[in-house]
Structure 1
């Protein structure tokens, strides 16, 4: 293998091997046969040809977000060095290498008054998010991240470099736009950028005693929100701190427009903090300030069919501990419109995301129990966004049976030797 590729190869027993194979979520154990840090797309192609001839799999991860540990017997391919980034402000397009993080794309697009479709974290890869569909701050205005992808550069199951778009291979293009990426290795992608001449956003924070009034204001705002406005509600309980409730906001428009839309918040008690302001699109990660270093965690997501009085009461009935956060994301808008992607439209109006840290086995059980209690008490559809799946779930939790059948057919055609091992393969 070292003769086949130019990038760094680490084998069990080598210094640095254990650190190199670790996923982002340190609660996940990730067994692999080797780690290869590809130097470029030609290196990826050489590795795939080697792996196919040797009869081993390839699991591709820039930095390990979404890892499930389903990598036994496979080579872990790190694509961080595929970091090319080109922005064409005239065509409103970007070409993004597989290792490029969302925050870097935002920083490149911002000077031109444009934006990609970033999520809450600036350190996840653009390619990884797009391969899973991708929920963005601006998805209510522009749909799934995958909906903005216009072409992929890939290495196929034969180890050949190819360009895939809606004309050259519509079936493979469909599968790559949210199907999870177990049909090819994406080395770069082209995607549309969107106008963002103005952006207003930030977080408001109150003590938990104000959660009922904050919830009422949140429901009122989201019931009438235009597509340019995205509002999330967070129930928070960090170690050593009192419980809190937050509202996170982005608005693709002016501050005056946003304040008019958010006026129900003005009637609430004075917040502990109010970070809302006009901001560059490159600073979106500061709103939720998610960790930018790996750590252990247990998550569970659901899609809510309603946020009526009963659901609001269930969310606020008891303290969220031992969870650190319970987040409600408003969807609708472009999310609910037609999408030629494996997931299709998101018809549920809200997403629920619950997170806790498994410091001990007993704590892990308690976190999982609390997540189940919330899910049992709320009106959920049973389907989840692909990028919100946890290691105990499968692709069947995200896709319809019809979409799964189509993904499996494409997998058989394009990767008959099962060389590519995604975090959530469609055939499991």
Structure 2
């Protein structure tokens, strides 16, 4: 058994912290797991003491602190096995997206990874998985073949559509920390070895320029092929010396592209934006292993608060509302193009039933404790202004921070599936051992 770490032990603070510092865990004990046996022992320890169990790999998406509980840190479980013939990958609980991408790329294959190389593969899939290639291949969760799960009774279960169809349904979309500890996943890989991708920054200091770029993108996405993944980010860049002079300290719009078709076709598709005069342009042919450079998301831990909602449309009127509400530049706003295969059901039904978004908008910012209430109020006001375009529900994968309520989480599912998930929970975890998960606040 690995070492237990208690509050006064060296290493306790390091092990309990994750990327989003807005949730400050104070568990009774932290267990840095290195194997499935460690996870089994940790769950049995917790149940023997009447404690709850929480699990953390990278800490990007916590919503409830694991205070007074057993926190299992799975970040050391980093095994990745690629089967190039079957086009599958088996990943352990601590594997990050970038490590999986690199391992698959050695065989000319790609997972349906997200935009950040630092996000944990397991939790990303359990929450649905909005991948860079998702318009072409669908949600990442629809490409899960099997899961290895340690349940509340301390037993390891291999879960498939055949062995346990109801639990398999529930875990894929609704199993993020609430039904057990997923210690491994088997997922599909896809024959994608390169992209025509990258990003273009536009100076948005002038609101008219921001409106021009966002409106162009909104109109352009209505006719783009499913082989084009794209998003747009409105952000006030920090004044830091390592940033390019053209964007340092400026308010910018960053338009991102990930196209799996031929480079000549990709160049034609993005030419409309080059005509708008970007101040940076990194869009080019690239190996898929470099996909994480497209969004180039930060990796330094911060106290982050966010909101998101699915949109049935994103038109010029929505652009105007977004720009009017975000003029201060206090927080970032991203809009990702969904539609395509994201709207279609997977081959095997999953609890991720809400597939009604043609777009998803995500807004968030950094705030210390004393500033959080004001930031959250601003984010809520933006969501209210975008309500006419909202489908009424969020993307579960983008829910994080202490403001995630049970109602907000439930809105991410079809109403009938909320009770079905609750019934699976009652069967597999009747004493609510895994009580530290989204929506308990």
Q: TM-score normalised by the shorter chain: which range applies?
A: over 0.9
- Quote how far apart the aligned CAs of 1:212 are: 2.0
SS of the counterpart of 2:173?
Answer: coil
- Quote how far apart the aligned CAs of 1:170 are: 0.5
CA distance in 2, matches of 1:111, 1:43: 31
1:323 matches 2:330: yes
1:215 matches 2:214: yes
CA distance in 2, matches of 1:108, 1:220: 37
Q: Please give the residue correspondences for 1:12-411 in structure 2 after superposition, counting only pairs within 5 Å.
A: 12-179=7-174, 180-208=176-204, 209=206, 210-240=209-239, 241-268=249-276, 270-317=277-324, 319-339=326-346, 340-359=349-368, 361-362=370-371, 364-378=372-386, 379-390=389-400, 391-393=402-404, 394=406, 395-411=409-425
| 1:304-354, Cα deviation, whole Å (9 max, x unpaired) | 121122112112235443434111100001110114221224212111111
- Quote how far apart the aligned CAs of 1:263 are: 3.0
CA distance in 2, matches of 1:234, 1:64: 23
- Quote how far apart the aligned CAs of 1:401 are: 2.6
CA distance in 2, matches of 1:303, 1:151: 28
SS of the counterpart of 2:81?
Answer: strand
For the 8 Å contact 1:30–1:68, the answer to whether it is kept is no
| 1:153-193, Cα deviation, whole Å (9 max, x unpaired) | 11122111121000000011111111023112111010000
CA distance in 1, matches of 2:10, 2:360: 42
**Cα distance change on mapping 1:422 and 1:193 into 2, 3 Å:** farther
CA distance in 2, matches of 1:320, 1:280: 37
Q: Which one is further off, 207-216 or 188-197?
A: 207-216
Q: Which one is further off, 74-83 or 335-344?
A: 335-344
**Cα distance change on mapping 1:319 and 1:392 into 2, 3 Å:** closer
SS of the counterpart of 2:76?
Answer: coil
CA distance in 1, matches of 2:268, 2:118: 32
CA distance in 2, matches of 1:181, 1:11: 22
| 1:375-395, Cα deviation, whole Å (9 max, x unpaired) | 122122221111111331232
**Cα distance change on mapping 1:360 and 1:155 into 2, 3 Å:** closer
| 1:253-310, Cα deviation, whole Å (9 max, x unpaired) | 2211212222321331x21100111112221221221122311211111111211221
For the 8 Å contact 1:198–1:253, the answer to whether it is kept is no
Aligned pair count? 420
SS of the counterpart of 1:60?
Answer: strand
CA distance in 2, matches of 1:18, 1:320: 38
For the 8 Å contact 2:42–2:70, the answer to whether it is kept is no
Q: TM-score, normalised by structure 2?
A: 0.91
**Cα distance change on mapping 1:377 and 1:293 into 2, 3 Å:** same
- Quote how far apart the aligned CAs of 1:225 are: 1.3
- Quote how far apart the aligned CAs of 1:63 are: 2.2
SS of the counterpart of 1:203?
Answer: strand
Q: TM-score, normalised by structure 1?
A: 0.94
- Quote how far apart the aligned CAs of 1:109 are: 0.8
SS of the counterpart of 2:333?
Answer: strand
- Quote how far apart the aligned CAs of 1:105 are: 0.4
| C-alpha RMSD of matched pairs (Å) | 1.7
- Quote how far apart the aligned CAs of 1:422 are: 4.2
- Quote how far apart the aligned CAs of 1:417 are: 1.8
CA distance in 2, matches of 1:306, 1:150: 32
SS of the counterpart of 2:124?
Answer: helix
Alignment-derived partner of residue 428 in structure 2: 414
For the 8 Å contact 2:215–2:315, the answer to whether it is kept is no
For the 8 Å contact 1:24–1:67, the answer to whether it is kept is no
CA distance in 2, matches of 1:22, 1:267: 45
CA distance in 2, matches of 1:176, 1:319: 36
For the 8 Å contact 1:337–1:345, the answer to whether it is kept is no
CA distance in 2, matches of 1:323, 1:282: 33
Unaligned segments of structure 1, at least 5 residues: 1-5
